[in-house]
Amino acid sequence: MSETVEHNERKHRFEIRADGELAGFAHYHLSNGVADFDHTEVQPRFNGRGLGTTLVSAALDQVRSAGQWKIRASCPFVAIFVKRHPEYADLVVD
């Protein structure tokens, strides 16, 4: 299975595709240079494949490489991810 993560700026979300099919997304609200990730969703038929982790990791890597935003993790999945991966702690604002 090939996976790609792309930033869909128009919909304010990062999307993951599995074999070209939309499998999930991580939605955010952007304000004052802070992207508040408020909802992450993977379609049920793709559950158990680690796509949520791949999605959030790639999204935060893209945020870091752009160097323009910090993040807030209102979404429980993103909050747990950041807690388990302290290498992303520098991106988080209170």
Convert the pLDDT of each residue in 34-80 to its tens digit: 999 999 999 999 999 999 999 999 999 999 999 989 999 999 999 99
Looking at the predicted structure, is the pLDDT value of residue 10 above 90?
yes
pLDDT greater than 80 at residue 1:
no
Q: What pTM was estimated for this model as a whole?
A: 0.94
Measured CA angle at 85 (ends 83, 87), to 5 deg? 115
Which distant-in-sequence residues (6+ apart) come within 8 Å of 69 by Cβ? 30, 33, 34, 35, 63, 91
Instruction: Domains for the chain: give ranges and CATH numbers.
Output: 3-91 (3.40.630.30)
